[in-house]
Amino acid sequence: LLINGVIRDWLQLVRASFRDHPEHCIAVHCVAGLGRAPVLVALALIEAGMKYEDAVELIRRFVPTQCRMGTFLKQLHFLEAVIDQHSP
C-alpha cells in the first residue's frame, strides 16, 4: 500500500533526524492545509511514545482550525486503522 510506504518513510525520517540531531526540529506542511501535516506530526508523536489523546491535544493547540473541521481526526483514525491492519 502506498499509504503504508509514506508513513513508514516519514517515521524513518523522523527517527533518523532526531537520532542524528536531537536538538533540531522538523517543519511539516501540506499543500492544501487540510490535515495531512498535522496527522503526520501526530503519528510521529504517538510513535515516540506520546499518548494518542495528548498528541491530539497538542496538535489542537497549534492547529485549532484543522481539528475543529474534523479532517484531522478523520485522517488520523483512517491512518491508525491502516497501520493496525498491516502491522506485524
Q: What is the biggest distance separating any 2 CA atoms in the chain, rounded to whole angstroms? A: 36
Cα 75 from chain centroid (whole Å): 10
Render pLDDT for 49-70 as a digit per residue (tens, 0 to 9): 998 889 888 887 877 665 556 6
Whole-model pTM: value is 0.67
Task: For each of the domains in the chain, give its residue range(s) and CATH number, in order of start.
Answer: 2-86 (3.90.190.10)
Place of cell 498491516: 86
How is residue 76 written as a grid cell?
A: 488520523
Whole-angstrom distance, CA of residue 80 vs CA of residue 43: 8
Residue 88: the pLDDT is 55
Are 43 and 11 contacting, i.e. CB atoms less than 8 angstroms apart?
yes
Residue 62: the pLDDT is 78
With 60 as the cut, is the pLDDT of residue 32 above it?
A: yes
